[in-house]
Structure 1
């Protein structure tokens, strides 16, 4: 509240001044330029208030879009921007919030001195301020639904791509692995059958080779099935499954999991494959000597999240580039409306984080 007061004062003075001067000078065309500056000022202060509320009150207000038709002339685009309802909602908020900020400022000073005011009155006033900001600075219901539909459409497209990539991987592994082994088994048994009477010693060798190939085919099919959905994940949950992945990693991995109750199976499998692929990349490319895997469940007003973080002390430089392995993991997370981020400065450390909603 103390920080918002000077911003509100400057915004109110500029808006009133620019609006008054701009309207009174429209007849000599200078006012058009002044009103154009006003639209920029309003958008800037609206963004500053969203950032202030996000930073101090921990409430994220999405930035609404002001439609701009790029096909028209400059003045047509400018007029559309000026007449956009969101522009006037921003102005309304900045004007109405000025007396509210004036009230909050002496209230905040009192709250510093009188503890009960700070503990019980200020949170109520802050909540009312947030309601006003959400109503005027955030997108309206129609735009929220439009943004959600666009987000779902993008997530569905990424999900289809991820599923297609997974299908190709399974098909490739079957063709190059188990299928070749089984063909070798069939050919070996066929040769053994043809020599059954004439060369018993050769038959024994061919059967031994076919037996070995059959065992390899079973092992490859087991690995493939584990790659689709590991049994330990379904039987014992994410904690045991991630510990199993860490045990197979050639570098030491510290695993800490605090997820209770168990999330949906889709969330568990997504978290499992993100951790598995990340540990594989760390072992192959990062040059790391140690890694950490943390997974926990976090309650949010919009629904619970499962958050997974993989950290290594390697050389860094990883990124979410199109067609890369990390991009594929981000696509997998997007199928359940999850978000994956990568922070990997050159020289490390690298942190891969996935926020996976338990409802979607």
Structure 2
């Protein structure tokens, strides 16, 4: 959901154990951290797996392309793509376990009809299949490069760092003073690392390489992250489809909740009053001949009930869609809302022209919900409502000087979204805005003021 809530605890997306305090700075503890060893293991495994993927992809695609002159080429190509999708699933699992990279699963193959041919056709038309094939081809040269660089620096750094521990093997078993740095054929110009200063300097160079290697490996695995996320994850279109399906569910649930609210208000409000009114008029009709004065009193009481029922029906109709919004637009409708609020509200609407009716209605009910929260929970003395347009976005901002502490889970505090039960109201409001690609931002420090900003797409 594209919603931000200010001054509240945010989830910690850091790796396991990375939130603890350490005595050593990151540069010194990096070579022995679990993350470094996981990423190094990922690079080591990449080479054999990439060779397997590359050989499979090239062999199967070449065979399928060569057999396209016959019908056999089509199922062979489909098998190649299916195998690449399988390798892609393995790579996503490996990245999730070793790199802690959570990649969304792509859409599965969904043939429109049953049968092998329908499945083959859907597989060949799937963009995910071809992106998996592209990954199998591109990842091989990168895996060779990353493996060579990582293993070279890793082995060089640790071998030089530990050189003082194993330097003794040269004079004992190799017949030379130490590790030979360079030498000539005549043996005259030869340099061995055997003096204490030279051994210490070698270990220092090894320490520097060892400390730099984890950051080099992280840079290498960043490319792997990009390849896995870009080629093996869900495409933008797939992600958008999932998002729209979720938004459609929110819209359906919201519409059902509104219908239930309208039915409840009619049943408990105007309908009950009209039933009582019919009973009172029936009794007045019976008493009209016997006791005209009592009948007149009952008719007078029924007249009051009619007025009350009419007012409830007007309020209900205004809650469904106010006539003033349809006739005169947001400026007049929001001014009418402000007049009914329990605290003084200043309204300023600066729009070049009216937006689409759907966006106008969402904007109206957003402000209505926020002003109701101010009336019920804010303990504010004044509030302001500003509406303006920025490029292709409609901006709404409601500010009150209440006690602040607005949240999405209720609890203490006040303001435009705080207090008992209002947290759920803000969460529902955020879902409604998200269903039309809107954004809700709540900034409500303890002690106030509370600033709620809503952003909607402008549709003229």
TM score, norm. by length of structure 1: 0.62
Q: Partners in 2 of 1:37 and 1:70 — Cα distance?
A: 12
Q: Partners in 1 of 2:435 and 2:457 — Cα distance?
A: 11
The equivalent residue for 1:307 is: 395
| Aligned 1:38-53 pairs, distance under 5 A | none
Q: Partners in 1 of 2:96 and 2:365 — Cα distance?
A: 50
CA contact (8 A) 1:257 1:296 kept: yes
SS in 2 for 1:251: coil
CA contact (8 A) 1:68 1:77 kept: no
Q: C-alpha offsets along residues 226-273 of structure 1, whole Å, 9 cap, x if unaligned?
A: 111111111111111112211222222222211222111111111111
- The verdict on how the C-alpha distance between 1:161 and 1:221 changes in structure 2, with shifts beyond 3 A counting, is same
Q: Partners in 2 of 1:75 and 1:335 — Cα distance?
A: 32
Q: Partners in 2 of 1:294 and 1:336 — Cα distance?
A: 20
Residue 407 of structure 2: which of 319, 324, 336 is its match?
Answer: 319
The equivalent residue for 1:258 is: 350
SS in 2 for 1:342: strand
The equivalent residue for 2:40 is: 34
Q: Partners in 2 of 1:78 and 1:285 — Cα distance?
A: 48
CA RMSD of aligned residues (A): 3.9
The equivalent residue for 2:364 is: 272
The equivalent residue for 1:246 is: 338
Q: Partners in 1 of 2:38 and 2:303 — Cα distance?
A: 86
Q: Partners in 2 of 1:288 and 1:328 — Cα distance?
A: 23
CA contact (8 A) 1:330 1:340 kept: yes
Q: Partners in 2 of 1:76 and 1:164 — Cα distance?
A: 39
Q: Partners in 2 of 1:69 and 1:339 — Cα distance?
A: 36
Q: C-alpha offsets along residues 45-67 of structure 1, whole Å, 9 cap, x if unaligned?
A: xxxxxxxxxxxxxxxxxxxxxx8
CA contact (8 A) 1:237 1:262 kept: yes
Q: Which segments of 5 or more consecutive residues in structure 1 lack a partner in the other structure?
A: 1-29, 40-66, 93-134
CA contact (8 A) 2:359 2:459 kept: no
Q: Partners in 2 of 1:248 and 1:38 — Cα distance?
A: 69
The equivalent residue for 2:439 is: 339
- The verdict on how the C-alpha distance between 1:261 and 1:161 changes in structure 2, with shifts beyond 3 A counting, is same
2:305 is aligned with 1:217? no
SS in 1 for 2:288: coil
The equivalent residue for 1:61 is: none
Q: C-alpha offsets along residues 96-122 of structure 1, whole Å, 9 cap, x if unaligned?
A: xxxxxxxxxxxxxxxxxxxxxxxxxxx
Q: Partners in 1 of 2:447 and 2:89 — Cα distance?
A: 42
Q: Partners in 1 of 2:329 and 2:270 — Cα distance?
A: 28
Larger helix proportion of the pair = 1
Note the C-alpha offset of 1:79. 9.4
- What is the number of residues matched between the two proteins? 256
- The verdict on how the C-alpha distance between 1:220 and 1:31 changes in structure 2, with shifts beyond 3 A counting, is closer
| Aligned 1:1-360 pairs, distance under 5 A | 33-34=39-40, 36=42, 77-78=97-98, 85=135, 143-299=235-391, 304-321=392-409, 324-359=424-459
SS in 2 for 1:196: helix
CA contact (8 A) 1:254 1:293 kept: yes
- The verdict on how the C-alpha distance between 1:75 and 1:340 changes in structure 2, with shifts beyond 3 A counting, is closer
- Relative contact order higher in (CA < 8 Å, ≥ 6 apart): 2
The equivalent residue for 1:42 is: none
SS in 2 for 1:202: helix
TM score, norm. by length of structure 2: 0.49
Q: Which segments of 5 or more consecutive residues in structure 2 lack a partner in the other structure?
A: 1-35, 46-87, 104-130, 143-225, 411-422
